[in-house]
Amino acid sequence: PQIVPFRAANQAGIVTPQQDRLTFAAFDVVTKDRAELVRLLKTWTTAAESMTKGQLVPGGETDLQAPPADTGEADGLKPGNLTVTIGFGPSLFDDRFGLASKKPAALKPLPKLAPENLDPAYTGGDLCIQACADDPQVTFHAVRNLARLGAGTVVLRWMQLGFGRTASTSSAQATPRNLMGFKDGTRNVRAEQTDVLDRCVWIGDETDQPWLRGGSYVVARRIRMYIETWDRDYLADQQNVFGRYKASGAPLGRTDEFDTPDLGSSDIPDNAHIRLASPEHNGGIHLLRRGYSFTDGIDATGNLLGGLFFIAYMKDPKQFVTVQTALAGDALNEYIQHIGSGVFVCPPGVTPGQYWGQGLF
Ligand code: HEM
């Protein structure tokens, strides 16, 4: 109970029923030594596996003259369904490590997309770690310990905490609400839809890099909500922005949350978010969304600085680009701005004896 297996065909933390809390971190590799990068991935694999079992980072806790192998703040806490998922950014495959021949053609920086104004302090990275669990301290502990073990090899580039899930990834879960007060995740891809996962989420035989089969691409977007502006908008308009009723989550013109939206009807405005983001509008494309609400306090003018830390998994980042391009005319854009971004390829799961990303070397 509360333990998600670390070793499987696919990495945990993608179709795993979405946990309540997130710590996401992007790292830059500071060494030029390929062997050091391999050593880091081995060390991280061992530590991550141990932490997901609710155990301390291994290494002995008894030497009084050395820092303890584990920082200690998760000692005694339940594992909380911790998953730790790794991804590799486009910049990892530059000249430094001789990995150019292992770079998939699909992995490249995202093009400029509306409505964005990206802060370099929250953009990019050679590596990413997504730690999800039902306890915020467990997720923070995981990232902190990987960062500490990586000292000298990697540096933290940016980091984001998320305090509440904004999607469901399993049909057993109730739909949560985002900071705009709407149910979020209603029409998300679920773990049970294995046909959609094969078609839209897991990297398959179509890849030019066989070592990535069973992996997935992750796109992370730090999306600010202009919360004060939103809170002054009237209810009917809020509902038109999404194309759903606020209370029930049902599509406009229908009655139940899980009723299929009638996109042929004018009940759902032309610029409604669910119309423009839908597979029906985007040639059948699905994204597996797995985002979190965040807040980082207030900005310099005293407005709330928070929103949605959007995370989505997909077979090819083109899928995100297609949907986000369709969202250029989204009614929601009056109330949001994308202010950070990352794209990473997540290798397949680790089988016994392997380390994260072993296929790279
Ligand atoms: C649907 C909120 C950004 C893709 C929805 C729904 C809500 C919502 C409330 C309806 C419930 C559901 O089916 O999940 C938001 C908010 C955003 C945001 C508040 C920004 C702050 C994005 C972005 C993308 C995206 C950036 C992808 C580029 C989708 C998709 C659906 C959806 C694919 C399902 C559409 C359908 O099939 O009906 N979103 N969203 N959303 N959103 Fe977003």
Q: Is 229 left (phi over 0), alpha (psi -120 to 50) or beta?
A: alpha
Q: What is the pLDDT of residue 48?
A: 98
* 162 Cβ closer than 6 Å to some ligand 1 atom: no
Q: According to the model, what pLDDT value does residue 312 have?
A: 98
CA torsion sign, 46 to 52 to 53 to 58?
positive
- In angstroms, what is the span from residue 133 Cα to ligand 1's centroid? 23
182 lines ligand 1 (CB under 6 A): yes
Task: State the Cα–Cα distance between residues 169 and 192, nearest whole angstrom.
Answer: 9
* Residue 308, ligand 1, Cβ within 6 A: yes
Cβ of 287 closer than 6 Å to ligand 1, yes or no, is: yes
Cβ of 185 closer than 6 Å to ligand 1, yes or no, is yes
The pLDDT of 314-322, averaged and rounded, is 98
**Ligand 1 binding pocket mutation candidate from 169, 177, 187 (most atoms within 8 A of CB):** 187
d(CA 86, CA 103) in angstroms, rounded, equals 16
pLDDT in tens, 277-296: 999 999 999 999 999 999 99
| Phi-psi map region of 269: left, alpha, beta (phi>0 left; psi -120 to 50 alpha) | beta
Residue 60 has pLDDT above 90, yes or no: no
Q: What is the distance in A from the centroid of ligand 1 to the CA of 277? A: 6
- Ligand 1 atom closest to residue 320's alpha carbon, by position in its atom list: 28
Q: Is the CB of 188 under 6 A from ligand 1?
A: yes
Distance from residue 198's CA to the centre of ligand 1 (Å) = 21
Q: Can you tell me which atom of ligand 1 is nearest the CA of 179?
A: 19
Handedness of CA 13, 112, 286, 216 (dihedral sign): negative
DSSP 257-306: TTSPP-TTSTTS-TT-HHHHHSGGGTTT---EE--EEEEEEE-TTS-EEE
Query: What CA–CA distance (Å, rounded) separates 48 from 11?
Result: 12
Is the CB of residue 133 below 6 angstroms from any atom belonging to ligand 1? no
User: Where do the H-state alpha helices sit in 34-135?
Assistant: 34-52
Q: Does the pLDDT at position 1 exceed 80?
A: no
pLDDT tens-digit readout, 132-185: 999 999 999 999 999 999 999 999 999 999 999 999 999 999 999 999 999 999
Mean pLDDT, all residues of the chain? 97
Predicted pLDDT at 44 = 98
In terms of Cβ atoms closer than 10 Å to its own Cβ (0-12, 13-18, 19+), residue 36 is: middle
Query: What is the predicted pLDDT for the residue at 62?
Result: 78
d(CA 45, CA 49): 6
Ligand 1 contact via 187 beta carbon (within 6 Å):
yes
Residue nearest ligand 1's atom 15 by CA: 184
**What is residue 84's predicted lDDT score, i.e. its pLDDT?**
98
* Helix, strand, coil percentages in the chain from 3-state DSSP, rounded to 5: 25, 20, 50
Segment 75-98 shows an average pLDDT of: 96
Sign of the CA dihedral with 140 first, then 317, 210, and 3 last: positive
The confidence score (pLDDT) of residue 230 equals: 98
Q: What percent of the chain has pLDDT over 90?
A: 98
Asked if ipTM goes beyond 0.95, one says: yes
Judged against a pLDDT cut of 80, whether residue 344 lies above it is answered with yes
Give yes or no for residue 225 CB within 6 A of ligand 1. Answer: yes
Residues 189-215 have pLDDT tens digits of 999 999 999 999 999 999 999 999 999
Write down the pLDDT at residue 27. 98
**pLDDT score for 361:** 93
Residue 184 Cβ contacting ligand 1 at under 6 Å: yes
